Amino acid sequence: MVFSSLLFIFGFLPIFLGLYYMTPVRWRNITALVGSCFFYAWGAPQFIFVLCVSSIIDYVLSRIIHKTHRKKVFLIISLVLNIGLLGYFKYANFFVGEFNDLLGLFGFTGAHWTYIALPIGISFFTFQKISYLVDVYRGTTTPARNVFDFLLYVVLFPQLIAGPIVRYHDVAEQLKTRVHSLEKIFEGIYRFCVGLGKKVLIANVMGSVADSIFDLTGSPDMTLSFAWVGIIAYALQIYFDFAGYSDMAIGLGKMMGFDFLENFNAPYISQTITEFWRRWHISLSQFMREYIYIPLGGNRVSSRRTYINMLIIFFISGLWHGAAWTFIVWGVYHGIFICIDKMFWGSISKKLPKIINIGITFFIVLVGWIFFRSETFAQAGYYLQAMFSLASSTTDVLWVDVIGNRGWLVFALGLFFSFIPGFKLYEWVVGKLKTSQQGFFRICIKACTAGLLLALSVLSLANASFNPFIYFRF
């Protein structure tokens, strides 16, 4: 069950919220827990047991870590269990396949292996549990007051499947008591509808365009113009898909009284790759920094070691995104440009016009997305060749067959909404709306916007079958 489905919007969500608000306040955590388990079991019934049992074990270990003098020993045990579980489900197929291919090169028969299915959202909830265990070890937070609170923290359905990665100390008090109000529910509905519009009205359309063009990779029909439009369409798809999901998660949280931190902040207006990672998937960047980069020494070590730490972080980030060499290359690619920023580009970019910096950074990000989107290095190579080839083509494929009039309109809107936050006019308008004393006027604008986006999204969902979430497979 995905947020951008009619079943969720008109089935699960109203029933769940009705039951949630009919439940006495002191029992609402239990209602939320049961509803979240049902939500996860709907899409992955065979894995709900793995999720709950592993979470209970983590809760027990956290209590031991908090009380024992041998904290590090039990922290290591907990990390081995969590990383081992993630490694088995997410990377076993990849490493066994690579091992069998290596054996094949020497004429040996590969090991027999039964393909392992991937639990939905395992990358997200594993990192979330690790952050909790490390925070307990550091004394940043105390263990959850009971196992039900901890289970709710892990399986709370708005952020369970695709983030954002919520740190326990950010919601610890909210698990005990939180504000339920009409204002918060309204803000949650508005935020959910904005995210739904991003996903359904922009990401889905751009995804269809990107898939159509990537399918031409390696064929004579792939032209330079197709290649550029295709990768920009994919950049718009992955941004509005993931940012839309995060908006919906934040909105659903507000409907239940929770406040989650932001996960995206107009990443395509970044002037350096370093800034891009402060704006893109913020919760993952914070996790990598706090729980891996700083323990490795961060920037408190020599310059050489700092660069190595950065490359390690982005190697892990690439591997976290997917069990494929293309993801690893994508991660290291970004790590290299982060190092370049620190070496010299960060200071040079300050002397250049903002629009030049944005253009250069967006170009670097686009090239990286090719590896992220491609299934093989061969496909990535062919696509890069098409992007920079000036050879003429006699393709019979027409623009209207690949994109269509609606595709061009959404393409333009996607670019507009991606880059408009970089202009002063946008900042001025947003500032005026935030400081406006006409509260009723703001409410009316938000209500009309939410209603329009919801209506258009529902109409689109009723007539379309293309509705994947990119980050569900992570």
Is the domain of 52 the same as that of 26? yes
pLDDT digits (tens, 9 = 90+) for 363-410: 999 999 999 999 899 999 999 999 988 765 656 566 666 777 788 899
Is the domain of 215 the same as that of 290? yes
Asked if residue 164 has a cis previous peptide bond (ω within 30° of 0), the answer is yes
Which of 177, 194, 223 lies at the terminal end of a domain, its last residue?
177
> Are 220 and 386 within 8 A, CB to CB?
no
Active site residues: 321
- Residue at 266 is within a domain: yes
Query: End-to-end distance of the chain based on CA atoms, in angstroms?
Result: 16
- Residue at 1 is within a domain: no
H and E: helices and strands count for the chain: 24, 0
pLDDT digits (tens, 9 = 90+) for 251-304: 999 999 999 999 999 999 999 999 999 999 999 999 999 999 999 988 888 889
pLDDT digits (tens, 9 = 90+) for 301-357: 888 999 999 999 999 999 998 888 999 999 999 999 999 999 999 899 999 999 999
- Residue at 304 is within a domain: yes
- Give me the chain's average pLDDT, please: 88
3-state SS, residue 69: coil
Among 75, 71, 57, 50, which Cα is nearest to 291's? 75
- Residue at 336 is within a domain: yes
pLDDT given at position 330: 96
Phi, psi values for residue 34, rounded to 5°? -65, -45
CB neighbour class for 145 (10 Å; exposed up to 12, middle 13-18, buried from 19)? exposed
CB neighbour class for 320 (10 Å; exposed up to 12, middle 13-18, buried from 19)? buried
Is the domain of 152 the same as that of 71? yes
Is the domain of 117 the same as that of 191? no
Specify the number of domains making up the chain.
2
pLDDT given at position 393: 60
Is the domain of 251 the same as that of 155? no
Is the domain of 141 the same as that of 200? no
Greatest Cα pair distance in the chain: 76
Query: What is the rounded CA–CA span in Å between residue 302 and residue 281?
Result: 28
Output the DSSP codes for 245-274.
HHHHHHHHHHHTT--PPP--S-GGG-SSHH
Q: Which residue in the block uniquely carries the two structure tokens 């109409």?
A: 459
pLDDT given at position 160: 87
pLDDT digits (tens, 9 = 90+) for 109-157: 766 767 777 888 888 999 999 999 999 999 989 999 899 999 999 999 9
- Find the length of the chain: 474
- Residue at 455 is within a domain: yes
CB neighbour class for 303 (10 Å; exposed up to 12, middle 13-18, buried from 19)? exposed
Question: Can you give the residue range of the structural domain that contains 279?
Answer: 184-473
